[in-house]
């Protein structure tokens, strides 16, 4: 059942499970728990849509470099950031976790991969592609759902509306946390027009996205005598993101062959796959540099058939009708579209757009640093009178050196691949990519600021996502990942969520 707090004045309710955040992982977890028979309340700060590209409640204060993901990398509405995200799902490699001494291993998460794939109607089967792998790199293919299945509200709205033991409250922003005898007893949510909802629950899960989950944990700390930070000094610290930058370009005499090997692939059920070169599990470079991956993208002039198609599909993801200019664009770009349809259905590839450049992007894990952190502002507040998040974040010389190293080994690997006979990797001049990366602002993969640890000294949550300081609260956001790893992070978040639901639903 979906309710709106706006206009509801004041109410007080109880639940077995309270989930704060009805976004990508919060909505999925709410539905899974309700399907397992639990009584669930989910508080979502936004409404059915976020129209603008930025939301006023996502304002933060930047104390060093601007972390652009805070304004442009998160969305407040039911479905959250899944209303805009790319959708690439791929588990990390065990070596990513091991190298960074994560307290959990992939062995504990792998059993949940088939369930996540089924949830998004993704194909089964391996992620690795042995024919393009080498001693230093493993070629892997992420799995992307079709556009309209990327928004989790599109996937789950029937259940969200009808499950009798699930109550989702829209426009309900959690603002106050009341801890008594070491447990979180009550959470208060408010609307901007002054309506209030008080929820008491046995189990509380904060799934408000990495930055906001950290901010809410800091708020709980602030409102309850520093109960969290006294136990877990890592709270807010080690904030990091993947750093990504074009490091060169592929110049080819065999465009069709390159398209076939490295272009987006389609499987019969509509799953899209894209290729990336991650560090091999046993590659020597792992001792010298953090996880990274390279992928070959394409860069259009923004006006071709591919751009028109992408705009139309993105409208569907946002639950909107495509604009008239995009419909007319289909006619204007018909010659490319006809060839692209042929490539899609007969070659099972996404045709490189005509004239598009083929930049190589290197994505590296940022080194976790205590100095990169989220804290609460002492003088700036949101509309509810709560302190804004302050982000102290910057790219270090060591991150730049790691980029150089990652590109060196990628270049050496590429030169040994048979594909290099017809396609050359033209690297940018020395130092150019490193300089650009420092200004890049992250790529919307925030991690670390409520990190998982073995002990309260090491982390904020344990391997079951339980806060060391307030054990009836779980944190479910990419901020629990101790490091960024060698792939996009959301599959890892969904695996942690599925593991948690299995634990409490035995």
Least Å distance, CB 59 to ligand FAD, is 12
Nearest alpha carbon to residue 440 among 373, 473, 393, 497: 393
**Overall size of the chain counted in residues:** 506
Q: What share of the chain is helix, strand, coil (3-state, %, to 5)?
A: 35, 25, 40
* Residue tagged 């030169």 (tokens): 415
Q: Which 3 state secondary structure label does DSSP give 350?
A: coil
Q: What are phi and psi of 338, to 5 degrees?
A: -65, -45
Q: Which is nearer to ligand FAD, 410 or 444 (CB)?
A: 444
Q: Which is nearer to ligand FAD, 285 or 374 (CB)?
A: 374
Q: Which is nearer to ligand FAD, 314 or 405 (CB)?
A: 314
Q: Which 3 state secondary structure label does DSSP give 245?
A: strand
Q: How many angstroms separate the CA atoms of 476 and 157, rounded?
A: 21
Among 38, 76, 143, 203, contact with ligand FAD (rule: CB under 6 A)? 76
Least Å distance, CB 86 to ligand FAD, is 3
Among 25, 132, 218, 340, contact with ligand FAD (rule: CB under 6 A)? 25
Q: How many angstroms separate the CA atoms of 252 and 441, rounded?
A: 31
Q: Which is nearer to ligand FAD, 285 or 475 (CB)?
A: 475
Among 18, 40, 43, 351, contact with ligand FAD (rule: CB under 6 A)? 43
Q: Which is nearer to ligand FAD, 33 or 285 (CB)?
A: 33
**Helix (H) / strand (E) containing 120:** none
CB atoms < 10 A from the CB of 86, how many?
13
Q: How many angstroms separate the CA atoms of 400 and 434, rounded?
A: 5
Does the protein bind ligand FAD through residue 273 (CB under 6 A)? no
Does the protein bind ligand FAD through residue 208 (CB under 6 A)? yes
CB atoms < 10 A from the CB of 303, how many?
11
Q: How many angstroms separate the CA atoms of 501 and 287, rounded?
A: 35
Q: Which is nearer to ligand FAD, 347 or 359 (CB)?
A: 359
- Ranges within 475-504 binding ligand FAD (CB under 6 A): 477-478, 488-490
Does the protein bind ligand FAD through residue 85 (CB under 6 A)? yes
Q: In the chain, what's the furthest Cα-to-Cα distance?
A: 70
Among 2, 19, 23, 188, contact with ligand FAD (rule: CB under 6 A)? 23
- Ranges within 210-269 binding ligand FAD (CB under 6 A): 212, 216
Among 2, 32, 70, 84, contact with ligand FAD (rule: CB under 6 A)? 84
> Number of residues in contact with ligand FAD, rule: CB under 6 A?
37
The two tokens of residue 283 are 């590659």
With CB under 6 A as the contact rule, which of the stretches 71-79, 255-263, 302-310, 345-353 interacts with ligand FAD?
71-79
- Ranges within 156-195 binding ligand FAD (CB under 6 A): 173-174
Does the protein bind ligand FAD through residue 87 (CB under 6 A)? yes
How does strand 359-365 pair with strand 242-252? antiparallel
Does the protein bind ligand FAD through residue 145 (CB under 6 A)? no
Does the protein bind ligand FAD through residue 73 (CB under 6 A)? yes
Least Å distance, CB 175 to ligand FAD, is 7
Least Å distance, CB 479 to ligand FAD, is 8
**Helix (H) / strand (E) containing 335:** helix 334-342
Q: Which is nearer to ligand FAD, 30 or 423 (CB)?
A: 30
Does the protein bind ligand FAD through residue 44 (CB under 6 A)? yes
Among 15, 31, 34, 88, contact with ligand FAD (rule: CB under 6 A)? 88
Least Å distance, CB 25 to ligand FAD, is 4
How does strand 2-4 pair with strand 166-170? parallel
CB 494 within 8 A of CB 116: yes
Does the protein bind ligand FAD through residue 146 (CB under 6 A)? no
Does the protein bind ligand FAD through residue 20 (CB under 6 A)? yes
Binding to ligand FAD by CB under 6 A, coded x per residue (else -) over 416-455, reads ----------------------------xx----------
Q: Which is nearer to ligand FAD, 193 or 398 (CB)?
A: 193
Does the protein bind ligand FAD through residue 207 (CB under 6 A)? yes
Q: What's the N-to-C CA distance of the chain in angstroms?
A: 25
CA distances from 301 to 1, 306, 340, 356, 360 (A): 44, 10, 17, 8, 17
The DSSP result for 215-277, as a single string, is: HHHHHHHHHTTTHHHHH-TTTT-S-B-EEEEEEEEEEES-HHHHHHHHS-EE-TTS-EEEEEE
Q: Which 3 state secondary structure label does DSSP give 182?
A: coil
Least Å distance, CB 494 to ligand FAD, is 9
Least Å distance, CB 41 to ligand FAD, is 11
Q: Which is nearer to ligand FAD, 23 or 486 (CB)?
A: 23
Phi-psi region of 83 (alpha: psi -120 to 50; beta: other; left: phi over 0): alpha
| E strand intervals along 97-191 | 137-144, 166-170, 173-180, 183-190
Residues that bind ligand FAD (CB under 6 A): 20-26, 43-46, 73-76, 80-82, 84-88, 173-174, 207-209, 212, 216, 444-445, 477-478, 488-490
């Amino acid at each position: 059942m979906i309710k709106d707090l706006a206009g509801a004045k004041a109410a007080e309710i109880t639940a077995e499970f309270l989930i704060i955040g009805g976004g990508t992982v919060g909505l999925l977890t709410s539905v899974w728990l309700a399907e397992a028979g639990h009584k669930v309340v989910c508080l979502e700060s936004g409404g059915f849509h976020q129209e603008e590209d930025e939301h006023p409640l996502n304002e933060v204060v930047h104390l060093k470099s601007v972390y652009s993901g805070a304004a442009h990398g998160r969305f407040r509405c039911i479905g959250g950031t899944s209303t805009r995200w790319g959708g690439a799902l791929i588990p990390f490699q065990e070596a990513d976790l091991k190298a960074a001494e994560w307290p959990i291993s992939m062995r504990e998460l792998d059993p949940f991969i088939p369930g996540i794939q089924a949830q998004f109607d993704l194909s089964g089967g391996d992620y690795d592609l042995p024919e393009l792998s080498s001693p230093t790199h493993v070629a892997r293919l992420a799995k992307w759902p079709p556009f309209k299945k990327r928004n989790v509200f599109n996937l789950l709205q029937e259940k969200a509306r009808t499950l009798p033991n699930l109550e989702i409250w829209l426009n309900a922003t959690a603002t106050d946390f009341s801890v008594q005898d070491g447990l979180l007893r009550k959470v208060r949510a408010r609307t901007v027009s002054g309506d209030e909802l008080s929820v008491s629950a046995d189990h509380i899960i904060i799934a408000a996205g990495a930055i906001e989950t950290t901010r809410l944990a800091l708020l709980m700390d602030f409102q309850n005598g520093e109960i969290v930070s006294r136990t877990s000094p890592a709270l807010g610290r080690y904030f990091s993101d993947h750093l990504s930058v074009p490091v060169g370009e592929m110049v080819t005499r065999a465009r069709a062959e390159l398209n076939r090997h490295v272009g987006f692939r389609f499987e019969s059920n509509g799953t899209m796959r894209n290729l990336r070169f991650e560090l091999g599990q046993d590659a020597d470079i792992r001792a010298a540099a953090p996880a990274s991956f390279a992928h070959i993208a394409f860069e259009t002039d923004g006006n071709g058939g591919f751009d028109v198609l992408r705009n139309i599909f993105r409208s569907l993801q946002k639950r909107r009708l495509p604009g008239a200019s995009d419909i007319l664009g289909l006619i204007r770009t018909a010659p490319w579209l006809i060839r692209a349809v042929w490539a899609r259905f007969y070659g099972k590839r996404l045709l490189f757009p005509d004239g598009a450049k083929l930049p190589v992007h290197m994505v590296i894990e940022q080194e976790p640093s205590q100095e990169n952190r989220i804290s609460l502002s002492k003088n700036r507040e949101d509309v509810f009178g709560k302190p804004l998040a302050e982000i102290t974040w910057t790219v270090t010389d060591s991150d730049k050196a790691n980029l150089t190293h990652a590109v060196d080994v990628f270049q050496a690997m590429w030169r040994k691949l048979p594909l290099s006979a017809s396609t050359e990797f033209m690297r940018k001049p020395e130092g150019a990519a490193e300089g650009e990366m420092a200004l890049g602002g992250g790529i919307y993969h925030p991690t670390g600021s409520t990190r998982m640890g073995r002990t309260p000294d090491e982390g904020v949550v344990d391997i079951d996502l339980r806060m060391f300081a307030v054990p009836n609260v779980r944190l479910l956001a990419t901020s629990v990942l101790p490091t960024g790893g060698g792939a996009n992070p959301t599959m890892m978040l969904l695996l942690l969520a599925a593991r948690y639901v299995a634990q409490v639903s035995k």
